[in-house]
Chains A and B, each alone.
Chain A
Amino acid sequence: MSSLFSSLKMMTKGAMRCVLITNHLKFFETIGNFQLLQVTVRDALNQAMDEELERDERVFLLGEEVAQYDGAYKVSRGLWKKYGDKRIIDTPISEMGFAGIAVGAAMAGLRPICEFMTFNFSMQAIDQVINSAAKTCYMSAGLQAVPIVFRGPNGASAGVAAQHSQCFAAWYGHCPGLKVVSPWNSEDARGLLKSAIRDDNPVVVLENELMYGVAFEVSEQGLSKDFTIPIGKAKVERPGNHVTLVSHSRMVGHCLDAAAVLAKEGIECEVINLRTIRPLDVETIEASVVKTNHLITVEGGWPQFGVGAEICARIMEGPAFNYLDAPVIRVTGVDIPMPYAKILEDNSTPQIKDIIFSVKKTLNM
């Protein structure tokens, strides 16, 4: 593993910046008293796995191309070189088989991370995820735990068309016995993946391929080896008074972008990053709705029986219903298999203008 060092820039005026490019492509910024690192989501996931592999020798990673290829999307880059064949295992193309093997290993005392190259391929193995992993603790009345993580990219990518673009948040979110998380930024990715690996139960981690290369600032606290984000807790990314936008994964970024545009017109959006699909943090959403009286859900997946549909139902069943000044609006992917042509693909998932349009609609503007 070679390190590349680039220019070292020093600036005064109360701020000092050091730019170091390491094999992990980190940018190190010191601003005032806070130390913030620019970390891509890919590197955040990589670091999280590296740290957990080091921390607990029962943790291991298996999946297609995770070892010698460094990961189909390079998320596991460097891990095989560091940990070897025993802990980073390349599998043949046998999702049902290797997912089952991972679950069996978890039952017998190990803590596997089972990577699906994309969650589209997890459909081949979904029986093992649901029937062998999710339900076993309950069926055995607590005798048999299954401490496993299933992770991989979920949802739409770019130009990969219908069979490689499905969002599985609703499918996995439906099932008791599973925890399902959906990180948006690097801090989410680090904290949620570490929590997932440390959790004694089956956790599905829905990453997003388009987010892998995006860099975010991560605080020093967020970089610590024991930094975890609790599963089941949403985060208010941006406070606001006029409307609540609830989202997960990549769409959180779209909501923040829409909020920035709307702020110029004096509309302040509160943006909630779900972070976890199951269990859903309804309380955070309710508290926000009580304040803003307007709710819009934004997701990349299809509308029917989706994440937004569930949020609507839960809000209706709870105390926040009486605080709504308008029905909840769902902004979702278009109800079609994903097309290939760029113009069609672009118009198949929510764009910032769709969110802005919906906000103005609900506010009767």
Chain B
Amino acid sequence: MRLVSEFKFFIVKCDLHKLEEGPPVQAVLTREEGLQYYRTMQIMRRMELKADQLYKQKIIRGFCHLYDGQEACAVGIEAGINLTDHLITAYRAHGYTLTRGGTVREIMAELTGRRGGIAKGKGGSMHMYAKNFYGGNGIVGAQVPLGAGVALACKYQGKNELCVCLYGDGAANQGQIFETYNMASLWKLPCIFICENNRYGMGTSVERAAASTDYYKRGDFIPGLRVDGMDILCVREATKFAADHCRSGKGPIIMELQTYRYHGHSMSDPGISYRTREEIQEVRSKSDPISMLKDRMLNNNMASVEELKEIDVEVRKEIEDAAQFATTDPEPPLEDLCNHIFHNEPPLEVRGTNPWVKLKSVS
């Protein structure tokens, strides 16, 4: 069987706000791209499911907000920008840490609080950082002004870079986001605001939280698109469109990605008290982003069943290896307790729990 090297797919037209035209309704997917997206989404999926397992074994503690179901967003967005662009998101951040260059090993080791973690065990699930990736932010909505600030720096430094600034449907009602819309628009900051609308802000459905659930319109004077967030090609094309808009100096733009999370808000939320199992099951069977891509590729001779299975096996192994590392790597040394309070600072003394404990902090 000969496999085709690329295929042109029809994708759903985006709803537009204050835009004459939107992203193309056709997207070309190459075999190479398809396999890469598939692999990355599978890694993301399996990584999150492994985190679920480790959390239930109490090896991961505290907050753990899982991303499974939303993979097409993170992978699609990254496909529409460059690694030299910038990105910031909220606390459901493991997927983005991966697409922005973090390895599964260092992500999982951060979740388990080990010294090999991407933040040396100091940050945890919500505070992972990488080059041009500003976390991982725990305070709902606070990352939006931060993202606009990164965009301001991009414009100031004249490097034709932009900032993708993500928030959820729950965060979309935060006042500071509207303050940010205003300033980003006034100053024409190269900022793509992306609302990942997974229908629930913790346990509150969008209808109960927002007087207007048209999140792509909430920027008022800022143009917006509503995108099928379960279709990676839609996400990619919309992101490319938005990136072009920003890079041409037109200022900010908003993308609303309609997506879904299979897990509850976090690991302490079973996720079925405010929504039905039937709903979750329906999304899984009809709109799963990985299945959608897989079906597209198989139905159009872009990949064989065997090679996708092979990728699955490789992914499984990679996750197992990472989990092994994450559970065996030692915790950070106690000497590290007070380090990294400041940057570029001579060593200082830090008071411990009692006056006789004098701890040392280095940068």
Instruction: Evaluate contact between B135 and A97: CB separation under 8 angstroms.
Output: no
B148 and A104 contact, CB distance less than 8 A: yes
Q: Mark B120-153, 1 if CB is under 8 A from A, else 0.
A: 1111000101000011011100101111111111
Collect the chain A residues with CB atoms within 8 Å of residue B163's CB: 104, 108
Inter-subunit contact A92/B183 (CB<8 Å): yes
Q: How many residues of A contact B (CB 8 A)?
A: 45
Q: Of B138, B153, B175, B180, which contacts A131 at CB under 8 A?
A: B138
Pairwise interchain contact B183-A97, C-beta atoms closer than 8 A: yes
Structural contact, B139 and A127, CB atoms closer than 8 A = yes
Of the candidates B154, B182, B341, B348, the one whose C-beta lies within 8 Å of that of A138 is B341
In the assembly, what is the distance between CA of A144 and CA of B179, in Å?
Answer: 25
User: Which residues from chain B contact A138 at a C-beta distance below 8 Å?
Assistant: 122, 340-341
Measured CA separation A143–B102 after assembly (Å) = 13
Check B122 against A100 for contact (C-beta < 8 Å).
Answer: no
Of B146, B180, B187, the residue contacting A132 (CB under 8 A) is B146
The answer to whether B183 and A131 have CB atoms under 8 Å apart is no
**A102 is an interface residue with CB less than 8 A from chain B:** yes
A144 and B129 in contact, given A91-B183, A200-B343 (Cβ under 8 angstroms): yes
Tell me whether B120 and A141 are in contact (CB under 8 A): yes
Residues of B near A176 (CB, < 8 A) are 341, 350
Residue of B121, B134, B157, B179 with highest tally of chain A CB at under 10 A: B179
Shortest B190–chain A CB gap in Å is 12
Residues of A within 8 A of B270 (CB): none
Q: Assign chain B's interface to a size class.
A: 35 or more
CB-CB nearest in chain A for B176: A96
Which residues of B from 280 to 301 have beta carbons under 8 Å from A?
Answer: none
CB distance from B194 to the nearest CB of A (A): 16
Cα A335 to Cα B315 with chains together (Å): 63
Taking a contact as CB atoms under 8 Å apart, the answer to whether A104 and B145 are in contact is yes
B179 — which chain A residues lie within 8 A by C-beta?
A: 92, 94, 96-98
Q: Please, which residues of chain A bring their CB within 8 A of the CB of B344?
A: 145, 200-201
Q: Which residues of B approach A to under 8 Å, CB–CB?
A: 86, 88, 119-123, 127, 129, 134-135, 137-139, 142, 144-154, 156-157, 163, 175-176, 179-180, 182-183, 186-187, 339-345, 348, 350, 355, 363
Q: Show the binding face of A for B, using Cβ within 8 Å.
A: 60, 86, 89, 91-92, 94, 96-110, 127-128, 131-132, 136-147, 176-177, 179, 200-201, 279, 317-318
Q: Which 3 A-B pairs have the closest CB atoms?
A: A104-B149, A100-B145, A97-B179
